[in-house]
Structure formats: C-alpha cells, structure tokens
Structure 1
Amino acid sequence: MVSFFDLPRELRDLIYTEVVVGERPRPILGHPQWRSFRFQRVSYPRSGDTGEFGCAYSLEPVPPTCANFLCCSRQIHEEMLDAIQLAKKKEGSSALSARVDCIAEDESFHYFTWLSVPIVQTRPLENQALYAILDNNDSILPRWAQVWLSQYMEWTWARWILRTRGLRFTTTHIEKLCIDVRPSGDRTRKWTRNNSQSDRTSWAICAALKRLLEHGPDFISSTSSTTAPPLTLNVIPPQDYPTSKYLPADAQGNEVREGLVHPHSVAKELLDVWAKIWRGEESKSFVYQGLLERIGRVQVCVESKVWGKRPLGDELRRGRRFPR
C-alpha cells in the first residue's frame, strides 16, 4: 500500500495547497443544492432595532483548518509551511483569508455561510483583554482587584469569575477575514416582503461580525471569542446579469424601483456604515461600536477591486495615544 510520503513532493505540495486555498461550494438561491443548506434564522424580539432581522446563519460545521496537517509530523509541518508561503506568493495574501459568503436577497434577507478557514490561532486571553471583558460586563470587582487577581493569583480566580458569568478565557485569532456580499433579487420585493430599511445589508454585515467576534466561528456558541484585525468586504454581482437591469449607482436606498441594486451602491453602503457607527447617528450604531476597536481596518471591494478603505481600530488607538 502506497503511503503519503511515497508520493512525489510535487503531488504532496498540490495536496497541501488544496487544503490551504480550497473552499466549499457556494449556496445558490433557487438551485437544487439550496435544499441541502440548513440555516438558523434570527428571531429575537429586538432584531429589527439592531438590524439583524432577516439574518440567517448556516448550521453546517465550520470548515477545518490546516492545523491537523501541521500537527501530523515534523516533515509534514515543514512542507505545509512551505506550501503556505508558496500560496502567498502565487495567489496573494487574500488566498489565505477566512472567507464567509453572504447572499443578500432582495436587500432584505441575508444568508451567511462559511467557505473556508485556512489558518487560525487559538490562545488564552491576555491581561488587557481580561480587563476589557470584566469591565464591559459590569464586574462587581474594582479595577485594582482585577489587576491583583490576574497578576498574583495566576488567573485561577479570574478564570473562575469568567466561568461563573458564562464568559470565556480563550480567543481565536483570524489573520484575515473576507465576506463576499452577493446581491440578488429585485428592489420592489424589498418593500413587499418585510419593509426593509434602505441600508439593511450593511447592518446585517455588522450583526454577523458581532456574532462572529463574540460567539466564535459558528455564530452561536460562547466557548471562545474571535479577533479579525483586517476585514475585506467584497461585493460580487450575479453572473450573466444584464447591466441594463441594474438600478442607477446614485439611486436612493428608499426608492421603490424595479431592478437589482447596483454593486457600487452596495459598496458605498458598506463603507458609510462605519462612519454612522463612529458618529453614533442611529440607535443601531451604539450596538456595534465595539466593532470599531476589534477590527483593525476595513477594505471594501467590488469584484476584488478596491473601492474604498476605512481605518477603525488603528485610528481609534491612535486617537487614544494623542488625546485632544
């Protein structure tokens, strides 16, 4: 029987590369394969106020990472690292991004599915992160007691506090995250189906990011938090869709017109929502202000071409270093 190491190095490299850059099939609305995808739709009472109404998260298991390969043996570990470096050179850094697919149906319902999670790191919370969690959850202990617990009790009591309050003390770090936003449907159905707001897609993306960062990669459990400093939001128009049927790029979001929202309109919405959160213009903005610190920067693309950028956590930390 031929073993894995009996294969030529070239074939082994192809296997390593497929593990790193391979993706799951994308769900397609109306396609027969759509029936095999299972989603959990959001249904809590205030989901409309937070902008998460209409979001649905896939119940499929999160795609495996390359961690199992890296732990097999020293030789596989070294060869896998070589394949990762080669993929970065050939495919670009975006090839190693964790990727989520988002179908934006009629600008109303949004279906989120994991496509790939090639490389992640899981590690204990650092002291600073521990303070933030305890502070954000209105700890009964004063700050000096939190510092004393973490420094002199070697995390024992700190972990006990987190456990008793249903919190976690590990975090999963995603090096790069990309969400592919795929508009579909028609603007007229946006109003007849659930009376959507003009910027529902951007708030749905924020809701999914909040769930990912707070509840882990499956969007539901609370066993670990997640950090993803660089974020790419990539708008992908439907294939073979006539450009004449797109709404004008400058069409207002509340206009009731027949046609599909223009990709540039979606890109503008995805970029402008961060300014709304920063300035606190709407009630939903306060729900997602934590994203400003946990996401380093946002890059919005249309068909993988950069459309606009906005610094978030980087600028926030820079402002704290140089207060007015």
Structure 2
Amino acid sequence: MPTLLSLPRELRDMIYTHLLTSPPAPAPTPKNPPLPTRPWYRAQVQAHASPASGPYCLFSPERHPRTNAASMLACNRQIHGEIMECVRRLRERKGGAGLALRLECVAKREAWVFTWKCVPLVCTTTVMTKKEKGKRMGMGMGLSVGWAIRSFLKGVLGWHGDGDASSSSYYQTPMMLTTTTTMIERLHIDIRTSSPSETDTDTDTDTSAPQPTFAASPTRLGWAICAALTQVLGYTHNIEDNNESNLRSTCTSIIEIGLLVLNVIPAPSTSTSTQTQTPAPPNPTLTLLTALLQTLWSTSSPPFHAHYCRPLLQRIRCVHICYDGAIHCVRELASELERGQAERRRIEGRMR
C-alpha cells in the first residue's frame, strides 16, 4: 500500500478505473477459448431438467464471479474514499454504462455459453424489520458496514449481514429479520452470432456437428437467457433443497436488475456492410427477441419453464433490445406488471 499511495493521484485514479471496468478473466481468443479449464456441466435437454441448469445453457460451477476492486476497498479508508470517487464519476458517464455488469453469450455447438466480462461493484442496502419477540438479536453489523464492503463480504465470504447464519439458535428466537437488497443498475448481455469457426476453438470438440443458429433455435436462446438470468438473480441456490434453514437464508437476500440490455452482435460480415444507416435486423433475430419477451409473459408456455421464469418479471424493471448497439425495442416490465396487478385487484374487487 505505501507504494500505491506514493503514486500521483491521477495514476491511482487510472488504476482504480481499470479495476472497476476491466474483465475478471481474459477475453476469449482462438488461443484462449471461452470455455475455461475448470469443469462445466451440460444441461439435459428434457422437460424435467434441473432448474439450476436450464435448457441448452452452460454455466461455471462458481456461484459468484470475482469482483476486482472488492479487496482494494477493504484496505484502508483513503483507498476506499478514492475508489468511491471513481465510482461516482463512472456513474455519471453515459447514464451509468461504465459500471454495467457485462455477460457474453456465445453459441457453442448445441448450447449457449455465458461468460462474465465485467463485474464492478453493486449497491446493497439492508433493512431490519421486527419479526417476533426473542431473547437476542444478530451481531448488529448489518447497518454499520458500507455497501461496498458488504457486497464484498456477501459475495466472497458468504456473509449476509444478519449475524451467524450457520447457528441454529439464531433462528429460534430472533427479534429482527434482516433483508438485503442488491440492485444491479445495468446488466449488459452481448449475444454473439459468430460463425462456428469462431466459437468452436476447442481441440476435443467435433466441428462437424450442427451449430446453433438464430433461424434454427430462437427459442433455445430465449430460454437460455432466462436460465442465465435466474442464475444471476439467485433463484437456483439450493432450489432442490427444502430444508427450512436454507429457505430462511435465501429468502432474505433479494437481487434486482434496473436495466437489462440484450445486445445482439451480428457476424463481422454483416456489421461491415453498414454504410449510411443501420439496416433492419434480420427476421430470425427479430423472431428471437420477440420470443424472449413473449417467454416472460406467456401463459401458454410449458408449466416447468413458466414456473421458473415468472419471478423474472418481479426483479427486472426495464429491458432494452438492441441490434449492434442500436435500440430497437424497449419493454417496461415493472410498469406493465404494476398495471396488470392493479387490473387484477380491480377485477377481484368487483367480484366480491
């Protein structure tokens, strides 16, 4: 730390900005394929597949991605204050796009691979409500730790700010119930429509196998994105375990997305042909984006998919559908959900 603090403030700000905006892992290249060396699991393409995997979707076994600047925030007060100033400056740039969480979705044979590209800090707030009378409270740390440190403790150390969560005596007679709400202000997902030669770079894969295309599998990509969003929002944590202690620990942590940006990146051959104006997206891409939005609202979807995708409506406020960076569709999910709930309450009131 003395070596870092001896640098000029301008250089330190450049280091902090790089930590906040740089990807946690090297970008995928032909020599560095998007699939890491750690084991991945393939989802079974069945109607009764596990909700933790989702159809046609590959995930890393790590639940939380690495946050680059989290350990720096815990060093001392001076570095914490300087990083927070960089955070405030990045929030003012381009409507907060500088601090957007970024995911990359790449076609991989018959599935879609999701890779974290940029994982800055998120804002976490804690609310303590009175549950019932008891003998003691938690450790009392939920309101005294800053949001940046709390995000680091929650994501890396598994601490929820509600005392000793592993102690069974804590849940027997609690006085206060702690609820942590993490707001992801902007989640940017790049969907790459690359050619098979660009995505299949592993030596042990069969390049002659049929590759997924937008025209052949638009529904697959829609369900894969929904499955990835359920992973990000934490719905799959201990979802198959009905233990009461696990349900108590997961229901007190809420993750919300303010703005979800789905950016379809065309192949290089189609993106270089833009001259004076941006052409309309191909029909398969429009079908894909429409299928994704209809997946969130459809009532005629399969019961399995509809059951696990319906909570996304409550956690995502707005969706921007983009094609090569240009916005082509905006969907206000929060306002539409509120209008639907208000209409439902009005109809129920008339039937009474």
TM-score normalised by structure 1 residue count? 0.68
How far apart are 1:215 and its partner, in Å? Answer: 4.7
The CA deviation string for residues 190-233 of structure 1, in whole angstroms up to 9 with x for no partner, is 58x9xx6542111110011112212589x999866532232111
How far apart are 1:55 and its partner, in Å? Answer: 0.8
Say whether the 8 Å CA contact 1:105–1:185 is kept in structure 2: no
CA distance in 2, matches of 1:309, 1:91: 18
1:99 corresponds in structure 2 to 102
Say whether the 8 Å CA contact 1:175–1:228 is kept in structure 2: yes
- The secondary structure found in structure 2 opposite 1:309 is strand
The CA deviation string for residues 271-315 of structure 1, in whole angstroms up to 9 with x for no partner, is 442234323132133431111111111111122221211111332
1:243–1:121: structure 2 CA closer, same or farther, 3 Å change rule?
closer
CA distance in 2, matches of 1:286, 1:162: 32
CA distance in 1, matches of 2:339, 2:255: 22
1:210 corresponds in structure 2 to 230
Q: Report the identity percentage.
A: 30
CA distance in 2, matches of 1:180, 1:2: 39
1:314–1:208: structure 2 CA closer, same or farther, 3 Å change rule?
same
Q: Which moved more, 1:295-304 or 1:60-69?
A: 60-69
1:120–1:90: structure 2 CA closer, same or farther, 3 Å change rule?
closer
1:19 corresponds in structure 2 to 19
How far apart are 1:91 and its partner, in Å? Answer: 5.3
Say whether the 8 Å CA contact 1:237–1:263 is kept in structure 2: no
Pairwise CA RMSD of aligned residues? Answer: 4.2
Say whether the 8 Å CA contact 1:63–1:116 is kept in structure 2: no
Q: Gaps spanning 5+ residues in structure 2: where?
A: 139-164, 173-177, 197-208, 274-278, 347-352
How far apart are 1:178 and its partner, in Å? Answer: 1.3
Q: Mapping of 1:1-324 within 5 angstroms? A: 3-23=3-23, 24-28=25-29, 31-34=30-33, 36-38=36-38, 39-43=40-44, 45-46=46-47, 52-59=54-61, 62-90=65-93, 92-105=95-108, 108-123=110-125, 150-153=131-134, 170=180, 172-185=182-195, 189-190=210-211, 197-215=217-235, 226-240=255-269, 265-266=284-285, 268-283=287-302, 284-321=305-342, 323-324=345-346
The CA deviation string for residues 218-274 of structure 1, in whole angstroms up to 9 with x for no partner, is x99986653223211111123356879xxxx99xxxxxxxxxxx6663355234422
1:104–1:126: structure 2 CA closer, same or farther, 3 Å change rule?
farther
CA distance in 1, matches of 2:46, 2:289: 25
1:242–1:234: structure 2 CA closer, same or farther, 3 Å change rule?
closer
CA distance in 2, matches of 1:229, 1:73: 30
Say whether the 8 Å CA contact 2:261–2:322 is kept in structure 1: yes
1:314–1:103: structure 2 CA closer, same or farther, 3 Å change rule?
same
- The secondary structure found in structure 2 opposite 1:199 is helix
1:141 corresponds in structure 2 to none
CA distance in 1, matches of 2:290, 2:341: 23
2:141 corresponds in structure 1 to none
How far apart are 1:183 and its partner, in Å? Answer: 1.8
CA distance in 2, matches of 1:182, 1:321: 38
How far apart are 1:59 and its partner, in Å? Answer: 4.2
The CA deviation string for residues 40-94 of structure 1, in whole angstroms up to 9 with x for no partner, is 3223853669793321113466121533333322222222122123223445511
Say whether the 8 Å CA contact 1:214–1:226 is kept in structure 2: yes
**Amino acid in the other structure paired with 1:173:** M
CA distance in 1, matches of 2:170, 2:191: 35
2:157 corresponds in structure 1 to none
Higher helix share: 1
CA distance in 2, matches of 1:49, 1:280: 21
How far apart are 1:95 and its partner, in Å? Answer: 1.6
Q: Provide the aligned length of Structure 1 versus Structure 2.
A: 276
**Amino acid in the other structure paired with 2:330:** K
- The secondary structure found in structure 2 opposite 1:200 is helix
- The secondary structure found in structure 2 opposite 1:118 is coil
How far apart are 1:122 and its partner, in Å? Answer: 4.2
How far apart are 1:181 and its partner, in Å? Answer: 0.9
